[in-house]
Structure 1
Protein backbone atom coordinates (compact mmCIF):
# COMPACT_ATOMS: atom_id res chain seq x y z
CA UNK A 1 0.00 0.00 0.00
CA UNK A 2 1.39 3.37 -0.93
CA UNK A 3 0.59 7.01 -1.12
CA UNK A 4 0.81 9.21 -4.18
CA UNK A 5 2.86 11.94 -2.54
CA UNK A 6 6.36 10.58 -3.07
CA UNK A 7 6.80 8.04 -0.28
CA UNK A 8 10.15 8.07 1.39
CA UNK A 9 11.89 5.29 3.26
CA UNK A 10 12.90 5.36 6.90
CA UNK A 11 15.01 8.32 7.98
CA UNK A 12 18.02 7.25 10.03
CA UNK A 13 16.02 4.29 11.40
CA UNK A 14 14.50 6.64 14.00
CA UNK A 15 12.30 4.66 16.42
CA UNK A 16 8.87 5.84 17.58
CA UNK A 17 9.41 8.32 20.40
CA UNK A 18 7.68 8.07 23.78
CA UNK A 19 4.48 10.03 24.15
CA UNK A 20 5.70 11.96 27.15
CA UNK A 21 9.10 13.33 27.99
CA UNK A 22 8.58 11.94 31.47
CA UNK A 23 7.86 8.45 30.20
CA UNK A 24 11.28 6.86 30.06
CA UNK A 25 10.58 3.26 30.99
CA UNK A 26 11.56 0.81 28.27
CA UNK A 27 9.68 -2.46 27.95
CA UNK A 28 10.02 -5.40 25.62
CA UNK A 29 7.51 -7.78 24.10
CA UNK A 30 8.26 -11.43 23.35
CA UNK A 31 7.13 -12.03 19.78
CA UNK A 32 7.52 -14.93 17.38
CA UNK A 33 10.03 -12.87 15.42
CA UNK A 34 13.03 -10.73 16.29
CA UNK A 35 13.42 -7.03 15.57
CA UNK A 36 15.69 -4.22 16.65
CA UNK A 37 14.85 -3.07 20.16
CA UNK A 38 12.49 -0.11 20.11
CA UNK A 39 11.88 1.95 23.27
CA UNK A 40 8.21 2.06 24.13
CA UNK A 41 6.46 3.65 27.07
CA UNK A 42 3.59 1.64 28.50
CA UNK A 43 3.07 3.81 31.57
CA UNK A 44 -0.33 5.21 32.35
CA UNK A 45 0.94 8.59 31.10
CA UNK A 46 -0.69 7.63 27.79
CA UNK A 47 -3.82 9.50 28.81
CA UNK A 48 -6.93 8.66 26.85
CA UNK A 49 -8.43 11.47 24.90
CA UNK A 50 -11.83 12.26 26.43
CA UNK A 51 -13.61 11.62 23.14
CA UNK A 52 -12.19 8.08 23.07
CA UNK A 53 -13.33 6.88 26.49
CA UNK A 54 -16.41 5.47 24.82
CA UNK A 55 -15.96 4.51 21.20
CA UNK A 56 -18.80 5.73 19.01
CA UNK A 57 -21.00 3.22 17.24
CA UNK A 58 -19.33 2.04 14.06
CA UNK A 59 -21.03 2.79 10.78
CA UNK A 60 -20.52 -0.87 9.83
CA UNK A 61 -22.17 -2.98 12.54
CA UNK A 62 -20.52 -5.76 14.49
CA UNK A 63 -21.87 -9.18 13.56
CA UNK A 64 -21.72 -11.42 16.65
CA UNK A 65 -22.25 -15.17 16.77
CA UNK A 66 -22.20 -15.76 13.01
CA UNK A 67 -21.91 -19.45 12.22
CA UNK A 68 -22.39 -20.66 15.79
CA UNK A 69 -24.03 -24.04 15.95
CA UNK A 70 -25.22 -26.02 18.95
CA UNK A 71 -23.19 -29.12 18.15
CA UNK A 72 -20.00 -27.00 18.25
CA UNK A 73 -20.67 -25.69 21.76
CA UNK A 74 -17.77 -27.71 23.20
CA UNK A 75 -15.31 -26.82 20.44
CA UNK A 76 -12.11 -25.14 21.63
CA UNK A 77 -9.67 -24.02 18.91
CA UNK A 78 -6.07 -25.19 19.16
CA UNK A 79 -4.22 -22.07 18.08
CA UNK A 80 -0.85 -22.28 16.32
CA UNK A 81 0.59 -19.75 13.90
CA UNK A 82 3.45 -18.73 11.67
CA UNK A 83 4.45 -15.66 9.71
CA UNK A 84 6.71 -14.60 6.85
CA UNK A 85 7.72 -11.30 5.26
CA UNK A 86 9.64 -10.17 2.20
CA UNK A 87 10.67 -6.74 0.96
CA UNK A 88 9.58 -7.72 -2.54
CA UNK A 89 10.57 -5.33 -5.30
CA UNK A 90 10.53 -2.23 -3.08
CA UNK A 91 13.61 -0.36 -1.91
CA UNK A 92 12.58 -0.42 1.76
CA UNK A 93 10.50 -2.66 4.03
CA UNK A 94 7.50 -0.96 5.65
CA UNK A 95 5.35 -3.98 6.61
CA UNK A 96 5.49 -5.14 10.25
CA UNK A 97 3.44 -7.65 12.21
CA UNK A 98 2.54 -9.14 15.60
CA UNK A 99 2.20 -12.88 16.11
CA UNK A 100 1.33 -13.79 19.71
CA UNK A 101 -0.36 -17.16 20.30
CA UNK A 102 -0.54 -16.43 24.03
CA UNK A 103 -1.43 -12.75 24.25
CA UNK A 104 -1.96 -12.68 28.01
CA UNK A 105 1.45 -14.06 28.98
CA UNK A 106 3.36 -12.41 26.12
CA UNK A 107 2.07 -8.94 27.01
CA UNK A 108 1.55 -9.38 30.74
CA UNK A 109 -2.20 -8.80 30.68
CA UNK A 110 -3.93 -8.76 34.02
CA UNK A 111 -7.33 -10.12 33.02
CA UNK A 112 -6.80 -13.83 32.44
CA UNK A 113 -9.35 -15.84 30.49
CA UNK A 114 -9.87 -19.54 29.93
CA UNK A 115 -9.05 -21.01 26.54
CA UNK A 116 -7.13 -19.41 23.68
CA UNK A 117 -6.09 -15.78 23.94
CA UNK A 118 -4.14 -14.80 20.83
CA UNK A 119 -3.37 -11.53 19.07
CA UNK A 120 -2.25 -11.12 15.47
CA UNK A 121 -1.69 -7.97 13.47
CA UNK A 122 -0.34 -6.75 10.15
CA UNK A 123 0.60 -3.09 9.72
CA UNK A 124 1.46 -1.79 6.25
CA UNK A 125 3.35 1.49 6.49
CA UNK A 126 3.62 4.20 3.88
CA UNK A 127 5.90 7.24 3.72
CA UNK A 128 8.19 5.45 6.17
CA UNK A 129 7.96 2.74 8.81
CA UNK A 130 7.54 4.86 11.93
CA UNK A 131 3.73 4.83 12.14
CA UNK A 132 3.66 1.06 11.53
CA UNK A 133 6.19 0.40 14.32
CA UNK A 134 4.39 2.78 16.67
CA UNK A 135 1.03 1.14 15.98
CA UNK A 136 2.39 -2.37 16.43
CA UNK A 137 3.62 -1.53 19.92
CA UNK A 138 0.83 0.68 21.20
CA UNK A 139 -2.40 -1.06 20.14
CA UNK A 140 -1.62 -4.05 22.44
CA UNK A 141 -0.69 -1.62 25.25
CA UNK A 142 -3.98 0.26 25.07
CA UNK A 143 -5.84 -3.07 25.08
CA UNK A 144 -3.83 -4.12 28.13
CA UNK A 145 -4.71 -0.91 29.99
CA UNK A 146 -8.45 -1.22 29.38
CA UNK A 147 -10.19 -2.87 32.32
CA UNK A 148 -13.06 -3.98 30.08
CA UNK A 149 -10.88 -6.44 28.15
CA UNK A 150 -11.72 -9.21 27.35
CA UNK A 151 -15.38 -8.77 28.35
CA UNK A 152 -16.00 -5.97 25.83
CA UNK A 153 -13.39 -7.00 23.30
CA UNK A 154 -14.96 -5.25 20.29
CA UNK A 155 -15.21 -1.87 22.02
CA UNK A 156 -11.76 -2.19 23.55
CA UNK A 157 -9.96 -2.93 20.29
CA UNK A 158 -11.79 -0.18 18.40
CA UNK A 159 -10.87 2.27 21.15
CA UNK A 160 -7.23 1.08 21.02
CA UNK A 161 -7.03 1.96 17.31
CA UNK A 162 -8.33 5.48 17.92
CA UNK A 163 -6.17 6.05 20.99
CA UNK A 164 -3.08 4.90 19.09
CA UNK A 165 -3.84 7.33 16.26
CA UNK A 166 -4.27 10.19 18.73
CA UNK A 167 -1.06 9.21 20.53
CA UNK A 168 0.88 9.16 17.27
CA UNK A 169 -0.39 12.65 16.49
CA UNK A 170 1.20 13.82 19.75
CA UNK A 171 4.42 11.95 18.97
CA UNK A 172 4.57 13.52 15.51
CA UNK A 173 4.05 17.00 17.02
CA UNK A 174 7.23 16.39 19.04
CA UNK A 175 9.27 14.95 16.17
CA UNK A 176 8.30 15.82 12.58
CA UNK A 177 10.70 13.13 11.29
CA UNK A 178 8.07 10.55 12.28
CA UNK A 179 5.80 11.74 9.44
CA UNK A 180 4.24 8.58 8.00
CA UNK A 181 1.09 6.48 8.07
CA UNK A 182 0.01 2.87 8.25
CA UNK A 183 -2.93 0.62 7.61
CA UNK A 184 -3.73 -1.71 10.50
CA UNK A 185 -5.44 -5.07 10.80
CA UNK A 186 -5.71 -6.89 14.12
CA UNK A 187 -7.27 -10.28 14.81
CA UNK A 188 -7.94 -11.56 18.32
CA UNK A 189 -8.92 -15.09 19.29
CA UNK A 190 -10.53 -15.09 22.73
CA UNK A 191 -11.90 -18.49 23.56
CA UNK A 192 -14.03 -19.41 20.54
CA UNK A 193 -14.49 -15.79 19.48
CA UNK A 194 -12.62 -14.41 16.47
CA UNK A 195 -12.65 -10.59 16.37
CA UNK A 196 -11.14 -8.69 13.44
CA UNK A 197 -10.53 -4.94 13.42
CA UNK A 198 -9.41 -3.39 10.14
CA UNK A 199 -8.49 0.09 8.99
CA UNK A 200 -7.05 0.02 5.48
CA UNK A 201 -6.43 -2.56 2.78
CA UNK A 202 -4.84 -5.46 4.63
CA UNK A 203 -7.16 -8.45 4.64
CA UNK A 204 -7.99 -11.54 6.70
CA UNK A 205 -9.71 -14.55 5.17
CA UNK A 206 -11.17 -17.48 7.11
CA UNK A 207 -11.08 -20.99 5.65
CA UNK A 208 -14.18 -22.94 6.61
CA UNK A 209 -13.99 -26.46 5.20
CA UNK A 210 -12.20 -25.10 2.16
CA UNK A 211 -14.52 -22.14 1.61
CA UNK A 212 -13.08 -18.61 1.86
CA UNK A 213 -14.94 -16.16 4.11
CA UNK A 214 -13.71 -12.58 4.07
CA UNK A 215 -13.41 -11.25 7.61
CA UNK A 216 -12.49 -7.73 6.49
CA UNK A 217 -13.20 -5.28 3.68
CA UNK A 218 -10.54 -3.39 1.74
CA UNK A 219 -11.00 0.31 2.49
CA UNK A 220 -10.30 1.84 -0.89
CA UNK A 221 -11.38 5.43 -1.64
CA UNK A 222 -13.25 4.29 -4.75
CA UNK A 223 -15.56 1.97 -2.75
CA UNK A 224 -19.02 3.53 -2.71
CA UNK A 225 -19.43 3.42 1.08
CA UNK A 226 -16.01 4.93 1.70
CA UNK A 227 -16.50 7.55 -1.01
CA UNK A 228 -19.74 8.69 0.64
CA UNK A 229 -18.04 8.96 4.02
CA UNK A 230 -15.08 10.83 2.50
CA UNK A 231 -17.25 13.34 0.69
CA UNK A 232 -19.42 13.85 3.79
CA UNK A 233 -16.21 14.69 5.68
CA UNK A 234 -15.16 17.34 3.19
CA UNK A 235 -12.76 15.22 1.13
CA UNK A 236 -12.82 13.94 -2.42
CA UNK A 237 -11.60 11.04 -4.52
CA UNK A 238 -9.41 11.74 -7.54
CA UNK A 239 -8.20 8.95 -9.82
CA UNK A 240 -8.82 6.44 -7.03
CA UNK A 241 -6.83 8.41 -4.45
CA UNK A 242 -8.13 10.11 -1.32
CA UNK A 243 -7.73 13.86 -1.92
CA UNK A 244 -5.39 12.84 -4.73
CA UNK A 245 -2.81 11.73 -2.14
CA UNK A 246 -3.52 8.32 -0.63
CA UNK A 247 -4.89 5.09 -2.06
CA UNK A 248 -6.61 3.96 1.16
CA UNK A 249 -9.63 5.47 2.88
CA UNK A 250 -8.69 4.46 6.44
CA UNK A 251 -5.29 4.53 8.12
CA UNK A 252 -3.48 5.53 11.30
CA UNK A 253 -1.01 8.41 11.21
CA UNK A 254 -0.63 10.65 8.15
CA UNK A 255 -1.03 13.73 10.34
CA UNK A 256 1.48 15.51 8.10
CA UNK A 257 -0.83 15.31 5.06
CA UNK A 258 -2.83 18.50 4.86
CA UNK A 259 -6.60 18.15 4.82
CA UNK A 260 -6.80 14.44 5.64
CA UNK A 261 -7.30 14.54 9.41
CA UNK A 262 -8.70 17.03 11.90
CA UNK A 263 -7.54 16.93 15.53
CA UNK A 264 -9.98 16.74 18.43
CA UNK A 265 -13.03 16.09 16.28
CA UNK A 266 -14.83 13.41 14.38
CA UNK A 267 -14.04 15.11 11.08
CA UNK A 268 -11.48 14.48 8.38
CA UNK A 269 -11.79 12.26 5.33
CA UNK A 270 -9.06 9.81 6.44
CA UNK A 271 -10.50 7.69 9.25
CA UNK A 272 -8.57 5.65 11.81
CA UNK A 273 -11.76 3.99 13.05
CA UNK A 274 -11.64 0.24 12.36
CA UNK A 275 -14.39 -1.85 10.86
CA UNK A 276 -15.18 -4.80 13.13
CA UNK A 277 -16.24 -8.31 12.18
CA UNK A 278 -16.87 -11.06 14.75
CA UNK A 279 -17.45 -14.80 14.41
CA UNK A 280 -17.83 -17.71 16.77
CA UNK A 281 -15.37 -20.37 15.62
CA UNK A 282 -16.66 -23.89 15.03
CA UNK A 283 -14.96 -27.20 14.33
CA UNK A 284 -15.44 -26.48 10.61
CA UNK A 285 -13.10 -23.46 10.78
CA UNK A 286 -9.60 -24.54 9.79
CA UNK A 287 -7.36 -21.46 9.55
CA UNK A 288 -7.13 -17.77 8.71
CA UNK A 289 -4.75 -15.93 6.41
CA UNK A 290 -3.81 -12.37 7.35
CA UNK A 291 -1.91 -10.46 4.68
CA UNK A 292 -0.83 -7.00 3.62
CA UNK A 293 -2.18 -5.77 0.30
CA UNK A 294 0.89 -7.02 -1.56
CA UNK A 295 -0.56 -10.52 -1.15
CA UNK A 296 -4.07 -9.59 -2.26
CA UNK A 297 -2.78 -7.78 -5.34
CA UNK A 298 -2.08 -11.22 -6.82
CA UNK A 299 -4.38 -13.56 -4.86
CA UNK A 300 -8.15 -13.66 -4.69
CA UNK A 301 -9.45 -14.75 -1.29
CA UNK A 302 -10.59 -18.21 -2.45
CA UNK A 303 -7.42 -18.68 -4.47
CA UNK A 304 -5.28 -17.96 -1.38
CA UNK A 305 -7.34 -20.37 0.74
CA UNK A 306 -7.06 -23.12 -1.88
CA UNK A 307 -3.30 -22.59 -2.15
CA UNK A 308 -2.71 -22.51 1.62
CA UNK A 309 -4.97 -25.49 2.26
CA UNK A 310 -3.00 -27.66 -0.16
CA UNK A 311 0.25 -26.64 1.51
CA UNK A 312 -1.08 -27.37 4.99
CA UNK A 313 -2.27 -30.77 3.81
CA UNK A 314 1.30 -31.44 2.68
CA UNK A 315 3.29 -30.26 5.71
CA UNK A 316 0.81 -28.91 8.33
CA UNK A 317 3.23 -26.10 9.22
CA UNK A 318 1.83 -22.53 9.40
CA UNK A 319 5.32 -21.02 9.15
CA UNK A 320 6.10 -22.90 5.94
CA UNK A 321 2.62 -22.11 4.65
CA UNK A 322 3.22 -18.38 5.20
CA UNK A 323 6.52 -18.62 3.33
CA UNK A 324 4.81 -20.56 0.52
CA UNK A 325 2.25 -17.76 0.11
CA UNK A 326 4.95 -15.08 0.02
CA UNK A 327 7.06 -17.02 -2.46
CA UNK A 328 4.05 -17.58 -4.71
CA UNK A 329 3.15 -13.87 -4.56
CA UNK A 330 6.69 -13.03 -5.69
CA UNK A 331 6.37 -15.50 -8.57
CA UNK A 332 3.15 -13.75 -9.53
CA UNK A 333 5.07 -10.44 -9.64
CA UNK A 334 3.53 -8.67 -6.68
CA UNK A 335 5.14 -5.24 -6.64
CA UNK A 336 4.74 -4.45 -2.94
CA UNK A 337 6.16 -5.46 0.43
CA UNK A 338 4.73 -8.77 1.60
CA UNK A 339 3.64 -9.88 5.08
CA UNK A 340 1.57 -12.98 5.84
CA UNK A 341 0.36 -14.69 9.02
CA UNK A 342 -1.33 -18.09 8.93
CA UNK A 343 -3.23 -19.11 12.07
CA UNK A 344 -4.49 -22.70 12.34
CA UNK A 345 -7.37 -23.68 14.63
CA UNK A 346 -6.83 -27.45 14.54
CA UNK A 347 -3.90 -29.69 15.44
CA UNK A 348 -4.44 -31.88 12.38
CA UNK A 349 -4.05 -30.71 8.77
CA UNK A 350 -7.18 -29.86 6.73
CA UNK A 351 -8.96 -33.04 5.66
Structure 2
Protein backbone atom coordinates (compact mmCIF):
# COMPACT_ATOMS: atom_id res chain seq x y z
CA UNK A 1 0.00 0.00 0.00
CA UNK A 2 1.35 3.43 -0.95
CA UNK A 3 0.06 6.35 1.11
CA UNK A 4 0.88 9.95 0.18
CA UNK A 5 0.08 13.07 2.19
CA UNK A 6 0.70 16.44 0.56
CA UNK A 7 0.29 20.10 1.51
CA UNK A 8 1.80 22.55 -0.96
CA UNK A 9 3.31 22.32 -4.40
CA UNK A 10 5.61 19.34 -4.11
CA UNK A 11 4.36 16.34 -6.06
CA UNK A 12 4.59 12.56 -5.82
CA UNK A 13 4.34 10.63 -9.10
CA UNK A 14 4.14 6.83 -9.41
CA UNK A 15 5.40 5.03 -12.51
CA UNK A 16 3.19 2.08 -13.44
CA UNK A 17 4.65 0.34 -16.50
CA UNK A 18 5.99 3.72 -17.59
CA UNK A 19 2.71 5.58 -17.16
CA UNK A 20 2.78 8.58 -14.80
CA UNK A 21 0.17 8.51 -12.04
CA UNK A 22 -0.01 11.68 -9.94
CA UNK A 23 -0.25 10.63 -6.31
CA UNK A 24 -0.73 14.19 -5.09
CA UNK A 25 -2.36 17.38 -6.24
CA UNK A 26 -0.55 20.71 -6.26
CA UNK A 27 -2.23 23.18 -3.90
CA UNK A 28 -2.07 26.39 -5.88
CA UNK A 29 -4.51 29.31 -5.96
CA UNK A 30 -5.00 28.90 -9.72
CA UNK A 31 -6.84 25.58 -9.28
CA UNK A 32 -10.62 26.08 -9.03
CA UNK A 33 -11.19 23.91 -5.93
CA UNK A 34 -8.41 25.65 -3.99
CA UNK A 35 -9.46 29.11 -5.18
CA UNK A 36 -13.05 28.42 -4.11
CA UNK A 37 -11.90 27.29 -0.65
CA UNK A 38 -9.66 30.37 -0.28
CA UNK A 39 -12.44 32.78 -1.29
CA UNK A 40 -15.00 31.09 0.99
CA UNK A 41 -12.62 31.74 3.90
CA UNK A 42 -12.17 35.44 3.13
CA UNK A 43 -8.97 35.25 1.10
CA UNK A 44 -8.43 36.33 -2.47
CA UNK A 45 -6.33 35.36 -5.47
CA UNK A 46 -4.37 38.10 -7.24
CA UNK A 47 -2.15 37.33 -10.23
CA UNK A 48 -2.19 33.63 -9.27
CA UNK A 49 -1.07 34.28 -5.67
CA UNK A 50 -2.95 33.74 -2.40
CA UNK A 51 -3.71 37.23 -1.03
CA UNK A 52 -1.33 38.52 -3.72
CA UNK A 53 1.68 37.02 -1.90
CA UNK A 54 1.94 33.23 -1.75
CA UNK A 55 1.94 30.73 -4.63
CA UNK A 56 0.43 27.89 -2.53
CA UNK A 57 -2.82 27.51 -0.62
CA UNK A 58 -1.54 24.86 1.80
CA UNK A 59 1.78 25.03 3.63
CA UNK A 60 3.42 23.82 6.82
CA UNK A 61 5.21 27.16 7.33
CA UNK A 62 4.29 30.73 6.40
CA UNK A 63 2.88 31.40 9.88
CA UNK A 64 2.49 35.11 9.17
CA UNK A 65 -0.16 34.26 6.55
CA UNK A 66 -2.22 32.09 8.90
CA UNK A 67 -4.93 33.41 11.19
CA UNK A 68 -4.87 32.71 14.96
CA UNK A 69 -5.38 29.10 15.99
CA UNK A 70 -9.00 28.04 15.62
CA UNK A 71 -9.90 30.84 13.20
CA UNK A 72 -10.64 29.74 9.62
CA UNK A 73 -7.75 30.74 7.36
CA UNK A 74 -7.37 30.71 3.57
CA UNK A 75 -3.86 29.24 4.05
CA UNK A 76 -4.00 25.87 5.79
CA UNK A 77 -1.55 23.13 6.68
CA UNK A 78 -4.10 20.32 6.26
CA UNK A 79 -2.72 17.77 3.81
CA UNK A 80 -4.67 15.82 1.24
CA UNK A 81 -4.22 12.05 1.44
CA UNK A 82 -4.18 9.51 -1.35
CA UNK A 83 -3.55 5.81 -1.12
CA UNK A 84 -3.13 3.14 -3.75
CA UNK A 85 -2.53 -0.58 -3.58
CA UNK A 86 0.79 -1.25 -5.29
CA UNK A 87 0.92 -3.85 -8.05
CA UNK A 88 3.70 -5.76 -9.79
CA UNK A 89 3.57 -3.09 -12.50
CA UNK A 90 4.66 -0.29 -10.13
CA UNK A 91 8.28 0.63 -10.76
CA UNK A 92 9.25 3.77 -8.84
CA UNK A 93 8.00 6.93 -7.16
CA UNK A 94 9.31 10.42 -7.89
CA UNK A 95 8.89 13.01 -5.13
CA UNK A 96 9.89 16.47 -6.28
CA UNK A 97 9.46 20.12 -5.40
CA UNK A 98 7.82 22.70 -7.63
CA UNK A 99 11.10 23.62 -9.32
CA UNK A 100 10.81 20.30 -11.16
CA UNK A 101 7.07 20.40 -11.91
CA UNK A 102 7.02 24.06 -13.00
CA UNK A 103 8.95 23.10 -16.15
CA UNK A 104 8.04 19.48 -16.94
CA UNK A 105 5.05 17.19 -16.90
CA UNK A 106 4.79 14.16 -14.65
CA UNK A 107 4.99 11.92 -17.73
CA UNK A 108 8.18 13.61 -18.96
CA UNK A 109 9.82 13.03 -15.56
CA UNK A 110 8.70 9.38 -15.43
CA UNK A 111 9.99 8.73 -18.96
CA UNK A 112 13.36 10.30 -18.14
CA UNK A 113 13.79 8.32 -14.89
CA UNK A 114 12.59 5.06 -16.45
CA UNK A 115 15.05 5.41 -19.33
CA UNK A 116 17.88 6.09 -16.86
CA UNK A 117 17.01 3.17 -14.59
CA UNK A 118 16.92 0.81 -17.58
CA UNK A 119 20.31 2.10 -18.68
CA UNK A 120 22.24 2.20 -15.38
CA UNK A 121 19.86 1.25 -12.50
CA UNK A 122 21.13 4.21 -10.42
CA UNK A 123 18.30 6.24 -8.84
CA UNK A 124 20.72 8.87 -7.52
CA UNK A 125 21.97 9.53 -11.06
CA UNK A 126 18.33 9.69 -12.21
CA UNK A 127 17.61 12.31 -9.53
CA UNK A 128 20.57 14.35 -10.79
CA UNK A 129 19.37 13.93 -14.38
CA UNK A 130 15.92 15.27 -13.42
CA UNK A 131 17.52 18.31 -11.79
CA UNK A 132 19.70 18.89 -14.86
CA UNK A 133 16.64 18.58 -17.14
CA UNK A 134 14.75 21.16 -15.04
CA UNK A 135 17.73 23.52 -15.30
CA UNK A 136 17.90 22.93 -19.05
CA UNK A 137 14.20 23.84 -19.23
CA UNK A 138 14.97 27.09 -17.37
CA UNK A 139 13.42 26.50 -13.97
CA UNK A 140 13.64 29.51 -11.67
CA UNK A 141 12.95 27.72 -8.39
CA UNK A 142 14.75 25.48 -5.94
CA UNK A 143 15.24 21.83 -6.93
CA UNK A 144 14.82 18.78 -4.73
CA UNK A 145 13.94 15.30 -5.95
CA UNK A 146 13.79 11.83 -4.41
CA UNK A 147 13.50 8.59 -6.40
CA UNK A 148 12.08 5.56 -4.57
CA UNK A 149 12.61 2.34 -6.55
CA UNK A 150 9.89 -0.24 -6.00
CA UNK A 151 11.28 -2.83 -8.42
CA UNK A 152 14.27 -3.33 -10.68
CA UNK A 153 14.08 -2.18 -14.31
CA UNK A 154 16.56 -4.48 -16.02
CA UNK A 155 17.56 -3.89 -19.63
CA UNK A 156 16.76 -7.48 -20.55
CA UNK A 157 13.24 -7.35 -19.14
CA UNK A 158 10.59 -8.48 -21.62
CA UNK A 159 6.84 -8.99 -21.62
CA UNK A 160 7.32 -12.74 -21.03
CA UNK A 161 9.77 -12.25 -18.15
CA UNK A 162 8.51 -13.00 -14.66
CA UNK A 163 7.57 -9.89 -12.64
CA UNK A 164 10.57 -8.20 -11.02
CA UNK A 165 11.39 -8.90 -7.39
CA UNK A 166 10.39 -5.97 -5.18
CA UNK A 167 13.37 -4.21 -3.72
CA UNK A 168 13.04 -0.87 -2.05
CA UNK A 169 15.83 1.63 -2.71
CA UNK A 170 15.76 5.36 -2.14
CA UNK A 171 18.08 7.98 -3.56
CA UNK A 172 17.96 11.71 -3.19
CA UNK A 173 20.03 14.80 -3.71
CA UNK A 174 19.74 15.37 0.04
CA UNK A 175 21.34 12.76 2.34
CA UNK A 176 19.22 14.00 5.25
CA UNK A 177 15.99 13.59 3.26
CA UNK A 178 17.08 10.12 2.15
CA UNK A 179 17.79 9.07 5.74
CA UNK A 180 14.42 10.38 6.94
CA UNK A 181 12.51 8.67 4.14
CA UNK A 182 14.37 5.38 4.64
CA UNK A 183 13.57 5.44 8.40
CA UNK A 184 9.93 6.17 7.67
CA UNK A 185 9.65 3.39 5.08
CA UNK A 186 11.47 0.84 7.23
CA UNK A 187 9.21 1.74 10.17
CA UNK A 188 6.02 1.21 8.14
CA UNK A 189 7.35 -2.07 6.69
CA UNK A 190 7.81 -3.52 10.17
CA UNK A 191 4.22 -2.69 11.22
> Under a length normalisation based on structure 1, what TM-score does the superposition of the two structures give?
0.43
- 1:65-104 matches, within 5 Å, as none
1:235 is aligned, of 25, 43, 49, to 43
- The runs of at least 4 consecutive aligned structure 1 residues that moved more than 4 Å come to none
Name the SS for the 1:231 alignment partner: helix
Counterpart residue number, 2:72: 267
- 1:191-340 matches, within 5 Å, as 193-256=1-64, 260-265=65-70, 267-340=72-145
Instruction: Tell me by how many angstroms 1:328 deviates.
Output: 1.4
| Preserved CA contact (<8 Å) 2:91 2:152 | no
| Preserved CA contact (<8 Å) 2:91 2:153 | no
Q: What CA deviation, in whole Å up to 9, does each residue of 1:45-75 have, x standing for no partner? A: xxxxxxxxxxxxxxxxxxxxxxxxxxxxxxx
1:349 is aligned, of 132, 148, 154, to 154
Q: Unaligned regions of 5+ residues in structure 1, if any?
A: 1-192
- 1:43-122 matches, within 5 Å, as none
| Preserved CA contact (<8 Å) 2:13 2:22 | yes
Q: Unaligned regions of 5+ residues in structure 2, if any?
A: 158-191
Q: State the distance in 1 between where 2:106 and 2:93 align.
A: 11
Larger proportion of helix: 2
Q: State the distance in 2 between where 1:335 and 1:253 align.
A: 21
Q: State the distance in 1 between where 2:15 and 2:101 align.
A: 16
Instruction: Tell me by how many angstroms 1:242 deviates.
Output: 0.4
Q: What CA deviation, in whole Å up to 9, does each residue of 1:78-105 have, x standing for no partner? A: xxxxxxxxxxxxxxxxxxxxxxxxxxxx
Question: Aligned pairs, how many?
Answer: 156
Instruction: Tell me by how many angstroms 1:347 deviates.
Output: 3.4
Larger radius of gyration: 1
State the structure with bigger RCO (CA 8 A, min sep 6), 1 or 2: 1
Q: State the distance in 1 between where 2:153 and 2:28 align.
A: 37
Q: State the distance in 1 between where 2:149 and 2:23 align.
A: 15
Q: What CA deviation, in whole Å up to 9, does each residue of 1:300-349 have, x standing for no partner? A: 01111111110110001111111111111111211111101011111343
Q: What CA deviation, in whole Å up to 9, does each residue of 1:139-185 have, x standing for no partner? A: xxxxxxxxxxxxxxxxxxxxxxxxxxxxxxxxxxxxxxxxxxxxxxx
| Preserved CA contact (<8 Å) 2:117 2:153 | no
> Under a length normalisation based on structure 2, what TM-score does the superposition of the two structures give?
0.78
Q: State the distance in 1 between where 2:148 and 2:135 align.
A: 21
Counterpart residue number, 1:73: none
Name the SS for the 2:151 alignment partner: coil
